[in-house]
């Protein structure tokens, strides 16, 4: 039970009133939430909203990731996954290898295949259309969730066509949904330093809107905990919220904590200390409170770690992603959470935290659980 007097004493009285009335918070409210010394008070507000929206349900999906190449032209400073062509460890999967991975479900009947990779300098749009068609021919029931807005922009540049046409062609091949990567932080001064060659914030948001207009749902993300400021985070959340007001196709928001172990990006001292975990939980909570029009907040266990992801369920998160099976990008960055989880492990994560597990599809529709 939330205590109005407690929030008034913390200087959050107006925010308390807005949250309990279901009203939209301002960016200034977000600043107050980030500055509040009592993180449990912020978490309780977020948990109130999460419970109002989803009860005690926590979602998971049976999915399989495929990272088709680590060769990328963007050379982002924070990325430990990227390789140059010819560099040791560089790889490109063949379409047949991708299909083989989808077919090899290892006893888990995947409902979603999640395909992302580097922006390869030579792979044409037809290559990706062929991959999707092969998957749908072999597994017509599976949802193909593939390619970030950054990859879409890259495909368009190589093909000499617009991004809307790229999306239409991929949809015709069988694309149904897109992940939310590549958003990083929208602030131009930060983006110029950490991912100068990547699609701009305006391009990322435009492509997301184009996808939504075609009926392709997407996720959205924010990479935080590096050189960005709190104002940059709040600006990022506000831009996502405004885009959602217009196009309405974001299924889920995923705050991605920056993993420092194998990155060339050097952090300020205050981003390396003992409060990193609290900052991650606070960011989950503030995201839930500000993003009133995006239905789901994900605690991505690969990058947050299992224990932190479980705790985040009390700070506004309602989704843990899924089985994944094989993930390279977070692992290269230094994630220690492992490659994949079994269905029973995911369900135990949820029930042990005091929540009810709900198996979902890509679009967050509940499906009958596979045990």
Lookup result for tokens 């184009």: 210
Q: What's the chain's average pLDDT?
A: 91
Please choose, from the candidates 74, 109, 114, 39, the residue with its C-alpha nearest in 3D space to the C-alpha of residue 298.
114
Lookup result for tokens 């990006």: 265
Residues 6+ apart with CB under 8 A from 153: 163, 199, 203, 204, 207
pLDDT at 312: 98
Measured at the alpha carbon of residue 370, what is the angle toward residues 63 and 342, in degrees to the nearest 5?
Answer: 55
Answer for the pair 332, 300: CB distance below 8 angstroms, yes or no. no
23 φ, ψ (degrees, to nearest 5): -95, 155
Is the model's pLDDT at 237 over the cut of 60? yes
Is the model's pLDDT at 52 over the cut of 80? yes
Mean pLDDT score, 93-110: 88
Q: Which two tokens stand for residue 211?
A: 């996808």
Q: Which two tokens stand for residue 153?
A: 């922009």
Spell out the long-range contacts of 152-158 with Cβ–Cβ below 8 A and sequence spacing 24 or more.
152/178, 152/207, 152/211, 153/199, 153/203, 153/204, 153/207, 154/73, 154/119, 154/199, 155/125, 155/128, 158/123, 158/124, 158/125
Is the model's pLDDT at 194 over the cut of 80? yes
CB atoms within 10 A of CB 247: 17
Is the model's pLDDT at 272 over the cut of 60? no
Judged by average pLDDT, the poorest of 169-173, 254-258, 287-291 is 254-258
Is the model's pLDDT at 293 over the cut of 90? yes
* pLDDT per position as a tens digit, 316-360: 999 998 887 654 444 444 444 445 788 899 999 999 999 999 999
* pLDDT per position as a tens digit, 141-167: 999 999 999 999 999 999 999 999 999
Is the model's pLDDT at 261 over the cut of 60? no
Is the model's pLDDT at 86 over the cut of 80? yes
């Amino acid at each position: 039970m939330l205590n109005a007097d407690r929030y008034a004493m913390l200087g959050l009285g107006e925010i308390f009133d807005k949250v309990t009335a279901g009203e939209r918070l301002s960016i200034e409210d977000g600043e107050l939430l980030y500055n509040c010394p009592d993180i449990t008070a912020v978490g309780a507000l977020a948990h109130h909203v999460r419970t109002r929206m989803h009860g005690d349900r926590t979602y998971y999906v049976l999915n399989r990731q495929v990272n088709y190449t680590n060769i990328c032209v963007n050379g982002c400073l924070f990325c430990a996954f990227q390789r140059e062509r010819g560099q040791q460890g560089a790889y490109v999967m063949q379409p047949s290898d991708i299909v083989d991975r989808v077919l090899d479900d290892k006893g888990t009947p995947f409902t979603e295949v999640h395909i992302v990779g580097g922006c390869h300098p030579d792979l044409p749009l037809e290559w990706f259309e062929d991959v999707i068609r092969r998957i749908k021919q072999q597994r017509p029931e599976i949802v193909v969730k593939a390619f970030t807005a950054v990859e879409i922009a890259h495909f368009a540049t190589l093909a000499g066509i617009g991004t809307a046409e790229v999306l239409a062609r991929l949809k015709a091949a069988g694309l149904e949904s897109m992940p939310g990567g590549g958003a990083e932080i929208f602030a131009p001064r930060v983006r110029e330093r950490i991912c100068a060659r990547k699609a701009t914030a305006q391009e990322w948001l435009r492509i997301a809107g184009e996808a939504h207009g075609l009926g392709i749902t997407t996720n959205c993300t924010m990479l935080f905990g590096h050189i960005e400021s709190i104002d940059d985070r709040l600006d990022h959340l506000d831009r996502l919220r405004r885009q959602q007001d217009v196009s309405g196709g974001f299924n889920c928001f995923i705050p991605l904590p920056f993993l420092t172990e194998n990155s060339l990006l050097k952090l300020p001292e205050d981003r390396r200390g003992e409060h990193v975990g609290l900052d991650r939980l606070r960011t989950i909570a503030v995201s839930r409170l500000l993003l009133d029009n995006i239905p789901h907040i994900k605690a991505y266990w690969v990058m947050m770690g299992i224990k932190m992801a479980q705790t985040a369920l009390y700070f506004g998160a309602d989704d843990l992603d899924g089985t994944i099976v094989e993930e390279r990008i977070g692992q290269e960055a230094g994630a220690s959470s492992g490659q994949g989880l079994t269905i029973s492990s995911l369900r135990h994560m949820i029930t042990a935290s005091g929540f009810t597990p709900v198996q979902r599809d890509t679009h967050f529709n509940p499906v009958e659980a596979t045990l």
